[in-house]
């Protein structure tokens, strides 16, 4: 489960190759994703930003094996994904509908572990820790519908953390929480990421958040979707809500991402493979210094 | 104080109805309509004795077995048919056909096939009670929220665990609606199966009394049926409150919003 520090940085943990997804609907075909190719190294934390409707959720569903891509493939540790992989957890965008309303908060978090046959004592520990981490240890006996939207989303996050996945996919998980909780949860994600050494792909529409959280930001174009740009975030590894955000480099990066998204919205396609002039290095060039 | 008030609500209307009945039968002496006092007397005479064992309990037993078996088959079949697409496509038209047959017409048919036995009566009850449960379960299983289903899938909650933790609870509001219909249908079918041909049971007893012009006795039998219905309704409400607590709570929250 924990990555072995003695091992050389393994090649791609998650690999998306030429992914294309066309939805067949009554009203004709909808090409949600045209052609996406990127790799995530083991232990990488990447953010995915893109305009609404650019196929972020679609991409996540293909990666998590819930939906078969029309073309291309997804590889997890070199193996082709054809169904939900064991060691992957997903936090869905529709948080309110992703919790079991007939189970109490604690049972919701516990169910995946119980189903895997994790022994009782360990299960209790993991669940307690996860609820504690998201600041919900005071409501284990409530039902999800008795909680506010932000609290429900935190239960979904706790469930994912307790599961101890190797790969964690999150689809705009902080959309429903207030600014303060959001900042806390951002730091929580980074803490968990460092502690467990997991690979995280984090979808967000918040540019600041993507720069603050990620080691790398992947920007999607508008539909039909390709990768607009893939940039490394060369901020210090210790991130602090106030300090990091006031760094000149932070501002530079968020300007850059912002510009790219504006371009994407206007429908500007990325130039074939040119390196951007604004300064940030393409992710492929840097890299080995993370994790 | 609160229980007293609830008791008042519970008994208020019955007491008023009995008073009206009592007043109406005060003067006239109608052969077909007994007075409350004579009915109570007859009731005790007729039902607090051997008849409990020869008629009442056998009827309740057949009813309980019939309804329970119908619920089990309906839920199991409904989960299967609702989850497997080709099975649904294959069975749905046929199910519509069978559902359209009024169960009482099966009584003569089953009598010929199985004789006048307890099994025949139970089968009549099952054959009618199964449809509301089966069809409601199919609907409920099909209506499982896709996001919830994806969540379960990504966390490896598959196979039996999926049925146990996702499909059944998710379909439980519809299943309970089906069960409720089945219970009232079951009572009707129990009586009918005993009226056609029988030598014991509540339906049989009531027809016997009617044929021998034992009118107060006949009425007392009808009261027994009514009480049985009320008892079943209480059991159902108790079960529903426990099984669907989450559902009513959620509805309340949604309505408040
Ligand atoms: N089940 C579906 N059937 C048909 N078309 C779909 C389906 N799901 C998504 N689409 C279409 O695919 C495109 C991408 O949708 P998707 O939900 O992946 O976007 P998104 O990037 O997650 O958007 P948002 O940021 O608003 O969540 C949209 O044009 C959408 O209409
Ligand atoms: Mg989305």
Q: Kindly state whether residues A280 and A208 are assigned to the same domain.
A: yes
Tokens encoding A173: 């998980």
Is the Cβ–Cβ distance between A203 and A172 less than 8 Å? yes
Do the domain assignments include residue A52? yes
Q: What is the ipTM of this complex?
A: 0.84
- Nearest residue by C-alpha to atom 22 in ligand 1: A57
Q: Is the dihedral of CA A36, A50, A190, A279 positive or negative?
A: positive
The pLDDT tens digits of the residues spanning B203-244 come to: 888 888 888 888 888 888 888 999 999 999 999 999 999 999
Helix (H/G/I), strand (E/B), else coil: A215: coil
User: Is residue A94, in this structure, part of any structural domain at all?
Assistant: no
Cβ proximity of A44 and A216 under 8 Å? yes
Q: In the prediction, which pLDDT does B185 show?
A: 92
Picking from A107, A139, A164, the residue at the C-terminal end of a domain is A164
Torsion sign across C-alpha atoms A233, A237, A242, A247: negative
Decide if A53 is inside a domain: yes
A144 shares a domain with A197: no
Last residue of a domain, one of A144, A164, A184: A164
Classified as helix, coil or strand, B158 is coil
Query: Scanning the structure block, which residue is given the tokens 């500007």?
Result: A268
Distance of CA A171 to the CA centre of its chain: 6
Q: Are residues A65 and A127 in the same domain?
A: no
Rounded CA-CA distance A139/A146 in Å is 10
Please check whether residues A269 and A218 belong to one and the same domain.
yes
Say how many domains are in chain A.
Answer: 2
Structure tokens at A44: 């990488």
Structural domain including A190 reads 5-87+167-290
The pLDDT of B185-199, averaged and rounded, is 86
3-state helix vs strand vs coil in chain B, percent to 5: 85, 0, 15
Q: A80 and A178 share a domain? A: yes
**Strands of the A167-171 sheet, one edge to the other:** A79-80, A71-76, A14-25, A28-40, A225-232, A216-220, A45-49, A199-203, A167-171, A88-91
Q: Are residues A154 and A177 in the same domain?
A: no
Considering the domain boundaries, does residue A134 fall inside one? yes
Give the pLDDT of residue B217. 85
Of the partner residues B154, B166, B172, the one whose CB lies closest to the CB of residue A89: B154
**CATH number for the domain running over B35-256:** 1.10.3720.10
A47 lies in the same domain as A159 = no
**Over the Cα atoms of chain B, what is R_g?**
23
Give the residue whose CA is nearest to atom 8 of ligand 1: A58
Ligand 1, closest atom to CA A59?
18
A74, A173: one domain: yes
Ligand 1 pocket mutation, candidates A21, A31, A48, A57, criterion most atoms within 8 A of CB: A57
What are the tokens at B45?
């005479």
The residue in chain B having the minimum alpha-carbon distance to the alpha carbon of residue A85 is B154
Q: Are residues A180 and A251 in the same domain?
A: yes
Q: State pTM to two decimals.
A: 0.85
Q: Is residue A173 part of a domain?
A: yes
Residues of A in contact with B145 (CB under 8 A): 97
The CATH number linked to A187 is 3.40.50.300
Report residue A3's pLDDT band, with 50, 70 and 90 as the boundaries: very low
Domain boundaries, chain B: 35-256
Helices (H), A23-74: 56-63
Q: From the CA atom positions of chain A, what is the Rg in Å?
A: 19
> Both A62 and A180 in a single domain?
yes
Q: How far is the CA of A87 from the centre of ligand 2 (A)?
A: 22
| Residues A268 and A175 both lie in one domain | yes
Q: What is the pLDDT of residue B96?
A: 85
Q: Are residues A189 and A222 in the same domain?
A: yes
């Amino acid at each position: 489960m924990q990555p072995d520090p003695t091992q050389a940085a393994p090649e791609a943990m998650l690999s998306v190759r030429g992914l294309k997804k066309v939805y067949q609907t009554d009203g004709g075909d909808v090409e949600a994703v045209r052609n996406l190719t990127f790799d995530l190294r083991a232990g990488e934390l990447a953010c995915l930003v893109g305009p609404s409707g650019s196929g972020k959720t679609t991409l996540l569903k293909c990666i998590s094996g819930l939906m078969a891509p029309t073309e291309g493939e997804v590889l997890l540790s070199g193996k082709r994904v054809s169904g939900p992989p064991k060691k992957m957890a997903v936090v869905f965008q529709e948080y309110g509908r992703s919790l079991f309303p007939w189970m109490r908060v604690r049972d919701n978090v516990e169910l995946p572990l119980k189903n895997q046959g994790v022994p009782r004592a360990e299960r209790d520990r993991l669940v307690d820790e996860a609820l504690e981490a998201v600041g919900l240890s005071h409501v284990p006996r409530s039902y999800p519908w008795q909680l506010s939207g932000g609290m429900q989303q935190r239960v979904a996050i706790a469930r994912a953390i307790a599961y101890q996945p190797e790969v964690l996919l999150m689809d705009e998980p902080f959309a429903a929480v207030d600014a303060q909780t959001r900042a806390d949860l951002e730091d929580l994600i980074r803490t968990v990421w460092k502690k467990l050494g997991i690979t995280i792909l984090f979808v967000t529409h918040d540019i600041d958040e993507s720069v603050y959280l990620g080691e790398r930001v992947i920007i999607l174009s508008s539909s039909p979707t390709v990768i607009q740009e893939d940039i490394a975030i060369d901020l210090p590894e210790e991130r602090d809500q106030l300090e990091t955000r006031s760094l000149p480099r932070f501002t530079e990066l968020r300007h850059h991402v912002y510009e790219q998204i504006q371009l994407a919205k206007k429908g500007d396609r990325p130039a074939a493979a040119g390196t951007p002039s604004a300064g940030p290095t393409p992710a492929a060039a840097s890299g080995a210094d993370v994790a | 104080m609160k229980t007293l008030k609830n008791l008042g609500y519970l008994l208020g209307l019955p007491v008023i109805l009995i008073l009206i009945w009592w007043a109406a039968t005060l003067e006239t002496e109608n052969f077909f309509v007994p007075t409350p006092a004579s009915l109570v007397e007859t009731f005790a005479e007729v039902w607090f004795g051997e008849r409990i064992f020869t008629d009442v309990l056998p009827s309740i037993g057949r009813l309980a077995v019939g309804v329970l078996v119908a619920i089990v088959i309906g839920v199991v079949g409904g989960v299967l048919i609702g989850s497997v697409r080709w099975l649904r496509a294959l069975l749905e038209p046929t199910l519509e056909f069978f559902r359209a047959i009024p169960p009482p017409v099966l009584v003569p048919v089953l009598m010929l096939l199985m004789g006048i036995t307890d099994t025949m009566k139970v089968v009549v009850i099952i054959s009618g009670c199964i449809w509301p449960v089966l069809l409601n379960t199919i609907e409920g299983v099909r209506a499982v929220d896709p996001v919830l289903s994806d969540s379960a899938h990504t966390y490896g909650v598959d196979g039996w665990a999926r049925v146990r933790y996702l499909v059944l609870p998710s379909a439980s509001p519809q299943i309970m609606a089906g069960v409720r219909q089945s219970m009232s249908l079951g009572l009707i079918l129990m009586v009918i199966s005993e009226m056609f041909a029988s030598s014991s049971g509540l339906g049989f007893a009531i027809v016997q009394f009617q044929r021998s012009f034992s009118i107060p006795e006949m009425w007392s039998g009808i009261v027994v049926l009514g009480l049985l219905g009320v008892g079943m309704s209480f059991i159902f409400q108790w079960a529903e409150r426990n099984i669907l607590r989450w559902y009513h709570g959620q509805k309340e929250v949604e309505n408040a919003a």
